[in-house]
Amino acid sequence: MRAPAAIFALLLLAISCRQKLPQEVVYTGKKDAPPAPVLDASIPLLDSGTSEVEFTKRALLTAIADCTLDQYRRLETKTATLAAATGTVAVQRAWREAMFAIEEAELFRFGPAARTTEPGGQGHRDQLYSWPLVSRCTIEEQLVAGTYATPEFPDSRINARGLGAHEYLIFYSGSDNACSGFSRINAEGSWAALSPQELAAKKADYAAAIARDVHSHAQALVRAWDPAAGNFHRELSTAGAGSTTWSSDQVALNAISDAIFYIENPLKDLKLARPLGLSECANDLCPEAFESKYANASLQHLRANLRGFQRIYQGCGENGEGIGFDDWLGAVGAGELAQRMTSALLVAIATADNFQPPIETALITDTQQVWTLYNAVKGLTDLLKADMVTVLNLELPQIIEGDND
């Protein structure tokens, strides 16, 4: 009896010795400086992740499923407006509004929006907006060939469809093209043969075809999620309890976590780092790497991305009300982390909202301001990568299923 008694005593000792988390300190690397508290005193503490309703993963999954359907319904409304719009000014305004909804929806790339290789994926996102896969030359070749007017257009090359191609068609008014001399449109002179009126008419027709195609995919997304139709809503909200797409709630939540890592890549590493010359840039700065080349809407896209993140992380309401990942953090006992992440998110949103002038101009005239935005986003992604995935035991995106020990 002695051994079991000793083990029991040890267990009791262990339980009684469990400590409360003391104030953590950060190593500053400066020998003379005192350790700095992890929680930056300059960032206000917010009521984050402290919902009074008891949190469950099912509630979170259902809230995100509701939010996703709401997001796609708003997108469908915007793409309907775009498809019906006539006249340059109205089409351009409708494009900006549709793009805001698309860029918010970038953070919802799971289920039917995801690629067909992903669980439940139907590839709708790439059909709506294939950036960074957009080829101006391919668009111009298809414009001359009139591909947009053929029944095969919805199955044609993805880098010449979607709202990325649409942007070029409705915002770029130049008469040049981006193809080399070897391209058929230049070698045979078919591009040069187009009069300015013919070019404008073809662009308008092409843009209208894209708008119809985009709207059909937005409708398909709504149908896929709608409880009265495809009911993917149920697949997500019952993950681990009847869902045929996700065998466990954690796997489904991991798919959502992968989707919100959009703010790391491409938002930080592609949309901001490349123009700043941090990667794949031969010069000090690469303004041509900005997302919106013709409408100068790159900053608006970033703002929408951050709003999309907020809708999943904080909650789907206008100012983050509702159940989100912050409530999950709060429920597991990591309320402080939830507050730090919310603060970092609000700093990033405020930095983007207060940004002046357009980011394409600011990169040249006020590079420091772009750096400030980059660092604000990095502050959020650091917490996401190091802290949130640890506490919630989420896998990082693109980690292949491999052995461990």
Residues that bind another protein (CB under 8 A): 7, 10-11, 14-15, 17-30, 38, 54-59, 240-241, 248-250, 265, 269, 273, 277-279, 328, 331-334, 336-337, 378, 381-387, 389-394, 396-405
Q: In the complex with another protein, which residue's Cβ is closer, 2 or 18? A: 18
Find the largest Cα–Cα distance for the chain. 98
The answer to whether 277 touches 286, Cβ cutoff 8 Å, is yes
CB of 340 to another protein, least distance (A): 8
d(CA 145, CA 74): 34
Any alpha helices (H) in 32-123, and if so which ranges? 57-84, 88-105
Q: In the complex with another protein, which residue's Cβ is closer, 8 or 173? A: 8
Q: In the complex with another protein, which residue's Cβ is closer, 128 or 239? A: 239
CB of 187 to another protein, least distance (A): 36
d(CA 129, CA 103): 9
The answer to whether 154 touches 213, Cβ cutoff 8 Å, is yes
d(CA 55, CA 52): 8
Q: In the complex with another protein, which residue's Cβ is closer, 104 or 336? A: 336
CB of 29 to another protein, least distance (A): 4
Residue recorded with tokens 């089409």: 91
User: In a 3-state reduction of DSSP, which class is residue 36?
Assistant: strand
Helix 196-225 / helix 162-171 crossing angle, nearest 10 deg: 150
CB of 22 to another protein, least distance (A): 5
CB of 380 to another protein, least distance (A): 10
CB of 72 to another protein, least distance (A): 25
Q: In the complex with another protein, which residue's Cβ is closer, 232 or 328? A: 328
CB of 52 to another protein, least distance (A): 14
Q: In the complex with another protein, which residue's Cβ is closer, 122 or 254? A: 254
The answer to whether 260 touches 313, Cβ cutoff 8 Å, is yes
Residue recorded with tokens 């045979």: 188
d(CA 249, CA 241): 8
Q: In the complex with another protein, which residue's Cβ is closer, 68 or 381? A: 381
187's enclosing H/E stretch is helix 184-187
Assigned token pair, 260: 């919100």
Task: Write out the DSSP string of 322-344.
Answer: S--HHHHHHHHT-HHHHHHHHHH
Q: Which of 93, 322, 84, 115 is nearest to 214 (CA)?
A: 84
Q: How many angstroms separate the first and last alpha carbons of the chain?
A: 35
**Who contacts 207 (Cβ-Cβ below 8 Å, separation ≥6)?**
91, 166, 169, 170
CB of 298 to another protein, least distance (A): 20
Q: In the complex with another protein, which residue's Cβ is closer, 116 or 248? A: 248
CB of 37 to another protein, least distance (A): 10
Q: In the complex with another protein, which residue's Cβ is closer, 2 or 228? A: 2
